[in-house]
Structure formats: structure tokens, C-alpha cells
Amino acid sequence: MKASVSKSELSGTVRAPASKSYTIRGLACAALAQGDSEVVSPLISDDTEAALNVLRAIGVKITREVSAENEERWRVTGGSFREPETELFCGDSAATLRFMAAIASLVPGECRLTAGPSLAKRPVGPLVAALRQLGVDCSAQGGLPPLVVKGGGLEGGLTELPGDISSQFVSALLLVAPLAGGEVTIRLTTAPESKPYLLMTLDSLKSFGIKVAATPDLREFKAAPQRYKPARYTVEGDWSSASYFLALGALSGPVSVTNLNPESLQGDRALLGFLREMGAQIEIDKSTITVRKSRLNAIRADLADVIDLLPTVAVLAAVAEGTSEFSGIERARIKESNRVAAVRKGLERMGVVVREEKNRLLVTGATPKGASIESYNDHRIAMAFGVLGTVAGETMINEAECVSKTFPDFWGVLGSIGGEVKQSG
């Protein structure tokens, strides 16, 4: 599918979809708890559907309900796993694959986890090595999916892995560490990046009665043997998905985004600080954030802990006065696409001067012109350039359907506040 975005005058209010990261964490914790839990207001998207399907395949009972107030709820009966009859296809959901690789160690028999074309290129070797240190029989040829995990549980003890490749490796270990035969120590051999996601995992564990000791720098974690307790787990709004509409507000607003927790642990809440530094007008009223059209200035920002914001801040920088510098971006090369290259190529097609380095991207603000943009089947690239198209005009986003990974209604919501969007083929 292609999405054509023209210059638009935007104004209105949108509701941030539920957090994908919290939804999948809530599902995983509920699956590990003995008894019935509820996941309230979850995100419905390709990634969360992948998590649902994989958990059901290992014996987790999940019932979807809608309350009288039109509130989506998933009732999850966890704590009892069975060997799957088929491969566990995780789609392109990295969180599902990595979390399930650890959970599969608790499943009787053998689990084979497979991935979609994008995820199949992303590394899992460090997680496999860390699980082996805890006595898990698992393998991944060449450090890439598919993975084969043989159940039998985890031993206690020490496991070590790098912290600067993916926080999801660490989160996966944190999910299963409390169910090991003895105390587990998880030690990171390099400083962790994307620290907010580790805090989100610890927060989710706490909601289900799990206590994990962590050092202040999140370089080491200790979990004693304990049991997950069933819980009612409410999913908050997603700051990553909201970032595109907050950016739209700064470019051509006012735009208000509801269903956001201003005190959220989600790292992408940092966008508010970036917008303020760029000169954007922002108003916060409880769970609603309003951003008004503003003259933007270049900024310097380290994105190591908020790497998913790279496409969003890059398109803002494309219209800001001066040259913005974004560092800590190297891991963006191993996401759904090589996002550093995808951002650079897209901006250059729109007439913006970009300089790409190994761990730094410099974007010089200009007057972007409409162009045909390759999304590389990456939802964040598609949405970010959809945002820029509203000021550049006549921008065609290829493989625009990829937004279904985290924000299936993105193009419709953009149209609802005045975005000139046409979808075809």
C-alpha cells in the first residue's frame, strides 16, 4: 500500500494508542502467574497479536472481552504450559521473540521460535549465551533466528551479557529469573542502553508481586526464587506512537494528544524535553499534551536511551533553523530497518542536507520538498515521513501498511485532524 500525504492544516485531538511495550510485558507476566489476570486497555496491533498467538500455542488461555464502557480487556489464565504442536511464529515482534525465548525454557519439551523477514536479521546470540549460563539448552545458528529452546527450567547462579545491544535481552532474563531453582544474578558487561525499558520491565514485575534488586546504574540485578501473583494490569498510553502527533503539533498544530502519563517511565517521554529545547509551545493538562505550531531551532541530543525517537526528531530537525546533532544512534541500524540510513536517504530525497557518521547524525534544517519515500517496511520510518509530508507536500510513502506493527489506525487518525492523506494499492 502507498500513502500520499499533501500539505495540510492540522488541528484537533487524538488519543494515544496503548503502549506496545507495556502490553507485551503485561501479557508475559500474566502468563507466568498462577491463575487469572486481566490486561486492561491493551494495544491491538501486529506485534501484540504475535505475542497472543505464541502464548496461546504454549497453553496460556487468553480471552478477549469488551466492557460496557467499550474498554478492551484480555483475561489471561497462566502458570501452566504445554509443548507447542507447531513452530512459534513471532512475526516481526522482537519483544515477543526475545521474551518467549526465555519463557520457553519453562515449557515442557522443545520450542522452535521463528521470525518474519525483518526480525530474522536481528541478533539473538547474546541472549542465547546468557540463557545457557543459567543451564538452558538453547541454540540459534549464527546468532540469528530461528531459536530452538528445550524446556527443563533454569538453574540459579550468575549470567553475564552486554548491555548495549538490546535491553530486551536483559528484560527477557528478568522475566524468568524469579522462577529459577536458585537466586539469579544478571550482570551486564557493558553499560546498558535504553535504560527506561529496563525500568518498565521492573515496574511490570512489581505489578505481579515480583521483587528484583537492581544497582542504581542497572548494571546488575538479583532475583530470589518467588512466584508471580495474578493481577489486574492497566496499560498506559504509548509515548512512542504519540511522538508523531506531538511533532505534528509543533510543525502545523495545535494538536492535543490524550491518554498520556506525564510521569511515565517510558523513555520516549523525553520528546517533550527535545521539543521544548527546540522552542515548541507545550501545554500539559493532566493526561493531555498540547503542542502548538512553533518556530523550531536546532538541538544536540543523545538518543542512546530513546533510540526509537530518531526518526521523529530527525524530521523535526529537517525544518528547524540550524544544524541538529543526534548521537548515540548506532543501535538504530539493527531495528526493523537500518534507521540511520533510512532517515538519511529519505531526508536527502526531500532536499535536506544530512551527514551520517557511525554514531552520529547531523541534520541541517531546510524547506523540505515532497518526494517518494521508501519506508523499508519500517513503521517508524513511515510515520515520521508521513509527519514531514504534511509540511513538505506531495509525499508518497511506500509500504505504508507497515504502521500496523504498532499503530494500525495511524493514517486514519492523521486524516481525522486535517491530514490530507490518500491510500492506494
First to last CA, the chain: 5
Residue 170 and residue 163 in contact, taking contact as beta carbons nearer than 8 Å: yes
Residue 123 and residue 165 in contact, taking contact as beta carbons nearer than 8 Å: yes
**Closest C-alpha among 379, 26, 396 to residue 234:** 26
Residue 381 and residue 343 in contact, taking contact as beta carbons nearer than 8 Å: yes
- Single-letter code of the amino acid located at 355: R
Find the catalytic residue in 46, 92, 268, 308: 308
Q: Residue 40 gets which letter from DSSP? A: E
What CA–CA distance (Å, rounded) separates 97 from 138? 13
Reading the block at residue 389, the C-alpha cell is: 509530508
DSSP H or E stretch at residue 78: strand 72-78
Tell me how many degrees the CA angle 189-192-193 measures, rounded to the nearest 5: 145
What are residue 4's phi and psi, to 5 degrees? -105, 125
Residue 270 and residue 308 in contact, taking contact as beta carbons nearer than 8 Å: no
What CA–CA distance (Å, rounded) separates 253 from 271? 16
CA 218 to chain centroid, in Å, comes to 20
Residue 416 and residue 14 in contact, taking contact as beta carbons nearer than 8 Å: yes
Three-state secondary-structure class, residue 128: helix
What CA–CA distance (Å, rounded) separates 368 from 314? 12
Residue 21 and residue 95 in contact, taking contact as beta carbons nearer than 8 Å: yes
* Strands laid side by side in the 213-214 sheet: 157-161, 184-188, 220-223, 213-214
Count how many Cα atoms sit within 13 Å of the Cα of residue 87 in the half-sphere of its side chain: 13
Report in angstroms the alpha-carbon separations of 114 from 58, 144, 145.
14, 10, 6
Is there a catalytic annotation at residue 137?
no
Longest Cα–Cα distance of the chain, Å, equals 60
Parallel, antiparallel, or unpaired: how do β-strands 255-258 and 12-15 relate?
A: parallel
Catalytic residues: 308
